[in-house]
């Protein structure tokens, strides 16, 4: 354990058939991989100890992602753990080795891109992420019609939609959560158009299907991929971990709201 940090952040993709699994299924896949890897993961206390994993924002079932994150916490020397007993010789030497090991053990569709040690900041990733970039493919309109509907939405003062919350129907204003939205031409097959959007996560996240309802009820979702999750730091948006394994890298100016 002397080579491993106390906390590690892993960036991975979720693509292909596994996109139809839930966030709970995703957590189980990670727990199985960690058991097989025999890494010295720290566990929670109580009657049902669980590996101490922290996931980024839940991905809507059926959506793909090129930027998912999981934070792992390893047991420190002397800390009680119900995890496997691992000899120092069997422990991977560094973060990249841990990432490579987990990549070989996770199911097809979950592919590790990078891993890096993180500091002692206990703020969860779910609290830190302020927006997500999405690529959304749709049908149901011509490109001219879709451009007009998007422009109408961006210039609207409010975009009310109905959602279900805690078993009851409520009306929310979608407009404040749409930081940018544009039509980027054709999608992956004939008749499919592609939208690029940046959607805020607070006070509540917006699912691609909800975005389409706000544009027009005639739109049909073909494919949605979360391309990035962003942390706001002094007006600059930062990735929690880049594909090069750099923490809080790839700085870029926060996207300005279009049509406001």
pLDDT given for residue 77 in this prediction: 60
Query: What residues form DSSP beta bridges with 153?
Result: none
Cβ neighbourhood burial of 38 (10 Å; 0-12, 13-18, 19+): middle
43: CB partners within 8 A, 6+ apart: 49, 50, 51, 52, 75, 81, 82, 83
- Considering 122, 145, 166, which residue would you say is the last residue of a domain? 122
- Dihedral of CA atoms 162, 186, 177, 126 in degrees, nearest 10, equals 100
**Residues 115 and 64 both lie in one domain:** yes
Return the CATH number at 55.
3.30.70.580
Residue with tokens 């404040």: 176
**Residues 221 and 106 both lie in one domain:** no
Supply 244's token pair: 């090069």
Count of structural domains, the chain: 2
Q: What domain range includes position 98?
A: 7-122
| 48: alpha, beta or left? (left if phi > 0; alpha if psi -120 to 50) | beta
**Residues 102 and 135 both lie in one domain:** no
**Residues 88 and 176 both lie in one domain:** no
Q: Report the alpha-carbon distance of residue 256 to residue 135 in Å, rounded.
A: 18
- Considering 92, 122, 152, which residue would you say is the last residue of a domain? 122
Say what the pTM is: 0.85
**Residues 77 and 34 both lie in one domain:** yes
Closest CA to 72 of 125, 151, 19: 125
Which three-class secondary structure state does DSSP give residue 17? helix
Does residue 18 belong to any structural domain of this protein? yes
- Considering 122, 137, 153, which residue would you say is the last residue of a domain? 122
Supply 129's token pair: 């992420």
pLDDT along the chain (260 residues), means of 10: 75 96 94 90 83 91 96 73 47 78 96 88 81 96 95 95 82 93 87 95 89 95 96 84 72 41
pLDDT given for residue 91 in this prediction: 53
**Residues 131 and 249 both lie in one domain:** yes
């Amino acid at each position: 354990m002397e080579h491993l940090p106390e906390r590690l952040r892993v960036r991975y993709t979720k693509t292909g058939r596994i996109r139809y699994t839930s966030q709970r299924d995703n957590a189980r896949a990670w727990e199985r991989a960690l058991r097989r890897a025999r890494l010295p993961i720290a566990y929670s206390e109580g009657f049902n100890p669980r590996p101490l994993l922290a996931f980024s924002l839940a991905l809507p079932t059926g959506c793909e992602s090129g930027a998912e994150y999981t934070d792992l916490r390893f047991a420190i020397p002397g800390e009680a753990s119900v995890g496997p007993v691992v000899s120092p010789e069997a422990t991977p030497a560094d973060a990249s080795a841990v990432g490579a090991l987990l990549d070989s053990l996770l199911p097809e569709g979950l592919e590790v891109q990078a891993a890096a040690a993180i500091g002692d900041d206990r703020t969860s990733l779910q609290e830190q992420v302020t927006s997500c970039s999405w690529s959304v493919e749709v049908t149901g309109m011509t490109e001219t019609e879709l451009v007009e509907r998007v422009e109408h939405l961006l210039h609207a003062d409010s975009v009310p939609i109905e959602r279900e919350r805690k078993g009851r129907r409520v009306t929310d204003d979608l407009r404040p959560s749409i930081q940018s939205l544009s039509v980027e031409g054709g999608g992956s097959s004939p008749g499919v158009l592609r939208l690029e959007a940046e959607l805020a996560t607070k006070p509540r996240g917006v699912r691609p299907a909800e975005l389409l309802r706000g544009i027009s009820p005639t739109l049909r979702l073909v494919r949605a991929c979360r391309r990035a999750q962003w942390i706001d730091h002094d007006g600059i948006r930062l990735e929690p971990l880049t594909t090069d394994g750099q923490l809080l890298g790839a700085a870029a100016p926060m996207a300005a709201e279009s049509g406001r």
